[in-house]
Amino acid sequence: MSMDKNQSLLLASAVFGIIALLHLLRSVLSWPARIANFDVPLWFSYIVVVVAGYLSWLMCSESRK
């Protein structure tokens, strides 16, 4: 079973969209995040929302061409 280019782009778009949504929820609800012994600052999620949201939108629009 093989995926064509449009299906792959839609799948990647959905993954990036979910990541953006989860980081948006983390930002709004002030959920803590810790990786090993490092507390991830909340401002990092703001950046991830913008970058992942843009990638999601870009891949979704590319899949429709």
**7-61 pLDDT tens trace:** 999 999 999 999 999 999 999 999 999 999 999 999 999 999 999 999 999 999 9
Vertex 56, ends 6 and 9: CA angle to 5°?
A: 15
Per-residue DSSP letters for 18-50?
Answer: HHHHHHHHHHHHT---EETTEEPPHHHHHHHHH
Non-local CB neighbours of 50 within 8 Å, separated by 6+ positions: none
Residue 1 has pLDDT above 70, yes or no: no
Cα–Cα distance, 30 to 50 (Å, whole number):
17
pTM assigned to the model: 0.87
Cα–Cα distance, 4 to 48 (Å, whole number):
28
Residue 2 has pLDDT above 80, yes or no: no
Residue 3 has pLDDT above 80, yes or no: no
